[in-house]
Amino acid sequence: MVKICCIGAGYVGGPTMAVIALKCPKILVTVVDISISRITAWNSDQLPIYEPGLDEVVKQCRGKNLFFSTDVEKHVSEADIIFVSVNTPTKTRGLGAGKAPELTYWESAARMIANVSTSNKIVVEKSTVPVKTAEAVERILTFNSSNISYQILSNPEFLAEGTAIQDLLNPDRVLIGGRETPDGQKAVQALKDVYSHWVPEDRIITTNLWSAELSKLAANAFLAQRISSVNAMSALCEATGANVSQVSNAVGKDTRIGPKFLNASVGFGGSCFQKDILNLVYICECNGLTEVAKYWEQVIKVNDYQKNRFVNRVVSSMFNTVSGKKIAILGFAFKKDTGDTRETPAIDVCRGLLGDKAWLSIYDPQVAEDQIKKDLSMNKFDWDHPVHLQPSNTAAVNQVSIVGDAYEATKDAHGICILTEWDEFKTLDFQKIFDNMKKPAFVFDGRNIVNVKKLREIGFIVYSIGKPLDPWLKDTPAVTRDK
């Protein structure tokens, strides 16, 4: 029986291995992690991450051919194929701080593999890593053990949170990069054999190692670039009276462009886009490609601009101050159908409003109170380290209350900011909400999900990203705020 071990039981390691176990009943899959609380949760009825369809898959396989364990060394030493899916956060200190990825967790995983291995291994990079990481891993492994052959493969993951199970069951492509030697190609084939259980042959792409590593960074950069492009257009739409949804629709009808990923928003979030683009920018800089680095960096700058612009709209519309005003925040996760808050635009918007002394009442159907408080008190990039290494002092978030539903959040509020596109926000009783708010009552829709016409009829002053402005907002400036 082939044995697979995955190091890192996070948003990628957990769902990916669950689907491999589901589709390959004859493969024994064990997911290991240094975080005891995460592994305990994976073994309980309350999984550590919220992902539609994940519970069912885990329940079907757990205890049969899918196991979760903290006994990292034992399972690594027994495995034939080892996936490494550990954190690769942006460095906060030292060389490349603020851009380069921190490869400490990767390096310690590689050293541990070398220490405990007694048989040949295929080591698969699942984490998103800089180009040429496989070479470094290869060196760590070969210099630290003898008589064992290691083949390193790059098999980046393209799942998106909220649709992870669907993405894994029916991927656009599976990408496998390996050495172009006979042994390298044998390893590529061994991993191909795993995915071939359910992924059609023509969707499994094989490349050299460096192409696979770079393709992951390139894919995220292209995706994020589309969002920054449409968000840049949204600012121009507001200035000219054009409607960004109509522009996106017209542009996306061109089959060369396509309709997906053209939704204007308060800004993109999530653990990957910013981190991976910064990683790409750093690699370009290291290779002397300054203009290329600047080109990609602009995607992040426009995203920051969009978040600032949103805060500016809120404050300037409400008589240039939100000091002492209650603002309801609907949605804190970085997108719907996930409880993940890593790099969510809600953090920047809330901080901006708190900076202007607003009182925030926050509701999100999937994010726990502790998490929100932690996010609002953590430093940039601290969030991407293993949970047990994150700062635990979350006491210092004043002027914020976390509530159990949207009606409570909006009661007696002066304004509402919609920051996540949860389906339940589309069907709220806005008449009831209006009746219970201070007047004039404002809605700032950062996801373009409300029916603007209907809300204006009720009496709300409505701001929707990239849409023709409410007469109230026409004279308020859309410039960015100083940080």
Ligand X SMILES: O=c1ccn([C@@H]2O[C@H](COP(=O)(O)OP(=O)(O)O[C@H]3O[C@H](CO)[C@@H](O)[C@H](O)[C@H]3O)[C@@H](O)[C@H]2O)c(=O)[nH]1
- Backbone φ and ψ of 314, nearest 5°: -60, -50
Q: Is 252 in the site for ligand NAD (CB under 6 A)?
A: no
Whichever of 29 and 221 has its CB closer to ligand X, that residue is 221
- The answer to whether 461 and 443 have CB atoms below 8 angstroms apart is yes
Residue 274 marked in a binding site: yes
* Member of 55, 158, 218, 295 binding ligand X (CB under 6 A): 158
* Member of 43, 69, 92, 108 binding ligand NAD (CB under 6 A): 108
> Containing H/E element for 207?
strand 204-208
* Member of 8, 269, 345, 466 binding ligand NAD (CB under 6 A): 8
Residue 421 C-beta-side C-alpha neighbours within 13 Å: 15
Locate 171 and state its tokens.
């991927």
* Member of 12, 244, 293, 441 binding ligand NAD (CB under 6 A): 12
* Member of 160, 204, 251, 378 binding ligand X (CB under 6 A): 160
> What's the CA gap between 286 and 3, in Å, rounded?
39
Residue 358 C-beta-side C-alpha neighbours within 13 Å: 27
> Containing H/E element for 376?
helix 369-377
Give me the 254-293 binding string for ligand NAD, x by CB under 6 A, dash otherwise.
Answer: -----------------xx---------------------
Residue 89 marked in a binding site: yes
Whether 272 is catalytic is: yes
Q: Is 274 in the site for ligand X (CB under 6 A)?
A: no
**Segment near ligand X (CB under 6 A), from 37-45, 258-266, 285-293, 423-431?**
258-266
- The interface partner of residue 386, options being ligand NAD, ligand X, none and the CB cut-off 5 to 8 Å by kind, is ligand NAD
Whichever of 72 and 272 has its CB closer to ligand X, that residue is 272
- The interface partner of residue 50, options being ligand X, ligand NAD, none and the CB cut-off 5 to 8 Å by kind, is none
Task: Please give the residues from 360 up to 399 whose contact with ligand X meets the rule CB under 6 A.
Answer: none
- The interface partner of residue 448, options being ligand X, ligand NAD, none and the CB cut-off 5 to 8 Å by kind, is none
> Which residue type does 26 have?
K
Non-local CB neighbours of 322 within 8 Å, separated by 6+ positions: 314, 315, 353, 356, 357, 358, 414, 415
- The answer to whether 9 and 31 have CB atoms below 8 angstroms apart is yes
> What's the CA gap between 105 and 87, in Å, rounded?
6
Task: Give me the residue label for tokens 């840049």.
Answer: 232
> What's the CA gap between 382 and 396, in Å, rounded?
16
- The answer to whether 310 and 268 have CB atoms below 8 angstroms apart is no
* Member of 88, 133, 306, 476 binding ligand NAD (CB under 6 A): 88
- The answer to whether 273 and 267 have CB atoms below 8 angstroms apart is no
- The answer to whether 55 and 32 have CB atoms below 8 angstroms apart is no
E runs forming strands in 8-142: 28-32, 66-69, 81-84, 121-125
Q: Is 128 in the site for ligand NAD (CB under 6 A)?
A: yes
Locate 203 and state its tokens.
């969707």
- The answer to whether 150 and 181 have CB atoms below 8 angstroms apart is no
**Segment near ligand X (CB under 6 A), from 33-41, 42-50, 266-274, 386-394?**
266-274
* Member of 5, 21, 28, 35 binding ligand NAD (CB under 6 A): 35
**Segment near ligand NAD (CB under 6 A), from 3-11, 259-267, 308-316, 424-432?**
3-11
- Give Dmax over CA atoms of the chain in angstroms: 76
* Member of 4, 5, 6, 7 binding ligand NAD (CB under 6 A): 7
Q: Is 269 in the site for ligand X (CB under 6 A)?
A: yes
Q: Is 90 in the site for ligand X (CB under 6 A)?
A: no
Residue 166 marked in a binding site: no
- Backbone φ and ψ of 137, nearest 5°: -65, -45
Report the Cα 387 to chain-centroid distance in Å. Answer: 16
Residues 477, 480, 482, 483, CA torsion sign = positive
- Backbone φ and ψ of 464, nearest 5°: -125, 135
> Which residue among 6, 61, 237, 272 is the active-site one?
272
Task: Please give the residues from 306 up to 345 whose contact with ligand NAD meets the rule CB under 6 A.
Answer: none
* Member of 159, 318, 441, 450 binding ligand NAD (CB under 6 A): 159
Contact positions vs ligand NAD (CB under 6 A)? 7-13, 33-35, 38, 72, 85-88, 105, 108-109, 127-128, 157, 159, 161, 271-272, 386
> Could you list the active site residues?
272
> Residues annotated in the binding site for NAD(+), as ranges?
8-13, 33, 38, 86-90, 127-128, 161, 272-275, 342
Contact positions vs ligand X (CB under 6 A)? 128, 157-161, 220, 223, 227, 261-263, 265, 268-270, 272-273, 334-335
> Residues annotated in the binding site, as ranges?
8-13, 33, 38, 86-90, 127-128, 161, 272-275, 342
